Amino acid sequence: MPSLFLLMLETFNWQISPVTSYTWLMTYLQIAAINYYTLSGDFQEVARHREHNMLIVMPLNVYKNSSSNPS
């Protein structure tokens, strides 16, 4: 990892947790749902869901350290 990124994580007291298979599955399902409407030709649904394309959760887990988060 670039040293600047590691410095930022240390400064904000954040940690990176490993990406799990569940996270990858959820990402895949989100993309598959978007593609389903596109391939089905239901252009009203495509237009309705287009605004949500930016809301895909990407598989990177970064969280701030606290007593409620795993260490």
Q: Decide if 9 contacts 51 (C-beta within 8 A).
A: no
Domain boundaries, the chain: 3-64
**What letter would DSSP give residue 70?**
-
pLDDT (tens digit, 9 = 90+) per residue, 3-24?
Answer: 887 788 788 777 777 778 887 8
For residue 19, how many C-alpha atoms fall within 13 Å in the half-sphere facing its CB? 9
pLDDT (tens digit, 9 = 90+) per residue, 37-46?
Answer: 677 777 777 6
pLDDT (tens digit, 9 = 90+) per residue, 56-67?
Answer: 656 555 555 555
CA 71, 57, 23: angle at the middle one, nearest 5? 55
- 12 three-class SS: coil
